[in-house]
């Protein structure tokens, strides 16, 4: 007959083995799972990046149209678009995590964006500053003045400058 003492020891041993077992299972998962996990994480980051730029694009376009003279200046709309653009410009610093450097066809961001990180960061900071400046200028100008046009142009040059270097065609 198994004594209480031996039974207890037996249970402890079993518990230890199952712990060890789950430990092994965990470490196996840790070796195989991250690849799938990393890919998922990268794709999510790329989706966020594209979504942020899509919104940046849709809020900048009406301002570009005013610049071109194809639509009249509408104070209410300009206020909304410039305010959104300034907020959206703050997201750009977070949308280029290293793990999202996957190249085409998954992302149009060129690998250079990560190898020239300092330049990318400077361009992001310039974009933020110009987007914030545009909010101020449009609030004081209230019309398609030269100062307003210059402030929109500065932002437009940030878009183009960064795309020319870091966005695949």
What is the binding site for ligand HEC (CB under 6 A)? 46, 49-50, 53-54, 56-57, 60, 92, 107-109, 113, 120, 123-124, 127, 155, 158-159, 162-163, 166-167
Complex with ligand HEC: residue 36 or 164, whichever CB lies closer: 164
- The answer to whether the peptide bond before residue 90 is cis (omega within 30 degrees of 0) is no
What end-to-end distance do the CA atoms of the chain give, in Å? 79
Complex with ligand HEC: residue 55 or 73, whichever CB lies closer: 55
Block residue for tokens 């794709």: 43
Complex with ligand HEC: residue 13 or 51, whichever CB lies closer: 51
> Minimal distance in Å, beta carbon 78 to ligand HEC?
14
Half-sphere exposure of 63 (CA within 13 A, CB side): 29
d(CA 167, CA 156): 15
Half-sphere exposure of 61 (CA within 13 A, CB side): 6
Complex with ligand HEC: residue 9 or 160, whichever CB lies closer: 160
């Amino acid at each position: 007959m198994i004594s209480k003492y031996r039974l207890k020891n037996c249970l402890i041993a079993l518990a230890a083995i199952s712990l060890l077992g789950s430990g092994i299972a965990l470490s196996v998962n840790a070796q195989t799972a991250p690849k799938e996990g990393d890919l998922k994480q990268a794709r999510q980051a790329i989706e966020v990046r594209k979504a942020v730029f899509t919104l940046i694009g849709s809020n900048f376009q009406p301002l570009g149209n005013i610049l071109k003279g194809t639509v009249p200046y509408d104070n209410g709309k300009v206020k909304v678009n410039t305010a959104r653009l300034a907020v959206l410009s703050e997201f750009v610093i977070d949308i280029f995590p290293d793990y999202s450097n996957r190249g085409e066809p998954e992302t149009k961001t060129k690998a250079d964006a990560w190898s020239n990180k300092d330049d990318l960061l400077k361009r992001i900071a310039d974009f933020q500053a110009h987007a914030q400046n545009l909010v101020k200028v449009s609030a004081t100008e209230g019309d398609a003045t030269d100062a307003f046009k210059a402030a929109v142009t500065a932002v437009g040059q940030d878009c183009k400058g960064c795309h020319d270097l870091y966005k695949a065609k």
